[in-house]
Amino acid sequence: MPQTNPVASMSTEHYLTTLKGLGRVVETPVLEQALARLPRLSGPSANTRIPLHHLLELHEGISDRCADPLLLVRAYQTLNYEPRFLARTFLAGAISPGDALSLVSRYAKVGSDLCSIELMAGQQTATLRVLPAPGFSGAREPLDAITYGFARILPSLGIPSMDVIRLDHVPSGPVQAHYRQLFPANLVFGCQERTIEFPAEYLSRPLDWHAIPAEKLARRERRLNQLQEQPQWRESVATLLPLLYRLGEANIDECARLLAVSRRSLQRRIRAEGYSFRELLDENRRKLAANYLLRGYSNDRTASLLGYRQPAQFYRSFREWYRCSPSEYRETIQTGLYQ
């Protein structure tokens, strides 16, 4: 196991989810004995941060008894990756797989300090990178389990096929066969990074999910702000706005409520970053409008996604932004005239 950082931590949610999976693949006495070696958690709340080395020590204790290098992957195999489940989580704040994976990347730190997640989109291929945090590159089994989890999430986000999954180590021959049985795509071992590669065309396909209550997304945003030394309030508002447009609630009072600050405090913090709320709202809509049209959404659908009650209101705003109509923009966007 790697040398651990005593200040590294994970959320109670992540810890309990892992325990749930382990409870399905490990005999109860073995799990109880491993848990008995750890400090007792007294009534942790959803916002509790638990030292990451607890999870790594738990895994190490169980692995010593089970001698299974894929134990955590098997535990993650038992978790719920169904679209119906994901559509009730914060991911339903997204309208496309690309948006959902961007949220996953943004909130990776909320779940655990073990790794960060990065989405890179090229012309043909998209790559999801699982990047271990400094000091934890040797935590192979937990990192493999996280990679496996994302490989199971992608199909539920409407990404039906993956080109390749790359892992940064080389198991023994017999163990490789077990890896290939569990992972849902072609595996390549001994690479520089852990990555999942898939066709980039899937990123912009619409997710047919109903808009969730904004509180589910805001809860993650508040946790992220608590973990940051200097929260970026402009980014927090910009993250909430696409969902709030769809819900018809894109106003500063709702943003302040969701971020657990007063209206005046949110205004002051946004101004300190060089914006007014109105300017941020306008810039966000302008960028999203171009983004949605580039993805192939119709003019009326784009207007609806941006919270306009009447398409004519959207057309007027769009012409102010780009000095042309949405249809004209759509016709010329591939030429590079409008960026």
pLDDT for the residue numbered 165: 98
Whether the per-residue pLDDT at 334 is higher than 90: the answer is: no
Which two tokens mark 128? 């999801």
From CA 238, how far away is CA 221, in angstroms rounded? 11
From CA 313, how far away is CA 301, in angstroms rounded? 13
**Element (H or E) spanning 82, and its range?**
none
Residues 179 and 75 in one domain: yes
pLDDT for the residue numbered 36: 87
Whether the per-residue pLDDT at 99 is higher than 70: the answer is: yes
- Report which residue type is found at 4: T
Bridge partners for 130 per DSSP: 117, 194
Q: Does residue 46 or residue 16 have the better pLDDT?
A: 16
Contact, 128 vs 245, CB < 8 A?
Answer: no
pLDDT for the residue numbered 4: 42
Mean pLDDT of 160-181: 95
Residues 63 and 106 in one domain: yes
Mean pLDDT of 154-173: 96
Domain boundary among 170, 204, 238: 204
Residues 228 and 175 in one domain: no
Residues 169 and 82 in one domain: yes
Largest CA distance in the chain: 69
pLDDT for the residue numbered 13: 87
Mean pLDDT of 80-102: 93
What's the CATH number where 258 sits? Answer: 1.10.10.60
Residues 171 and 226 in one domain: no
pLDDT for the residue numbered 63: 82
Q: Considering the chain, what is the average pLDDT of its residues? A: 91
Whether the per-residue pLDDT at 298 is higher than 60: the answer is: yes
Residues 174 and 57 in one domain: yes
Whether the per-residue pLDDT at 231 is higher than 90: the answer is: yes
Smallest CA-to-CA distance from 211 within 238, 236, 239, 247 is with 247
Residues 286 and 185 in one domain: no
pLDDT for the residue numbered 34: 87
Mean pLDDT of 159-172: 96
Mean pLDDT of 230-247: 96
Whether the per-residue pLDDT at 2 is higher than 70: the answer is: no
Residues 147 and 235 in one domain: no
Whether the per-residue pLDDT at 301 is higher than 70: the answer is: yes
Domain span including residue 18: 9-204
pLDDT for the residue numbered 43: 53
Residues 69 and 183 in one domain: yes
Tens digit of each residue's pLDDT (9 = 90 or more) over 171-208: 998 999 999 999 999 999 999 999 999 999 999 999 98
Q: Does residue 332 or residue 156 have the better pLDDT?
A: 156
Residues 71 and 162 in one domain: yes
Q: Does residue 16 belong to any structural domain of this protein?
A: yes
Whether the per-residue pLDDT at 114 is higher than 60: the answer is: yes
pLDDT for the residue numbered 186: 96
Tens digit of each residue's pLDDT (9 = 90 or more) over 118-131: 999 999 999 999 99
Tens digit of each residue's pLDDT (9 = 90 or more) over 273-292: 999 999 999 999 999 999 99
pLDDT for the residue numbered 15: 87
Which two tokens mark 153? 């999430």
What total number of domains does the chain contain? 2
Q: Does residue 1 belong to any structural domain of this protein?
A: no
Return the percentage of the chain with pLDDT > 90, whole number.
Answer: 75
Q: Does residue 154 belong to any structural domain of this protein?
A: yes
Whether the per-residue pLDDT at 266 is higher than 50: the answer is: yes
Domain boundary among 186, 204, 222: 204
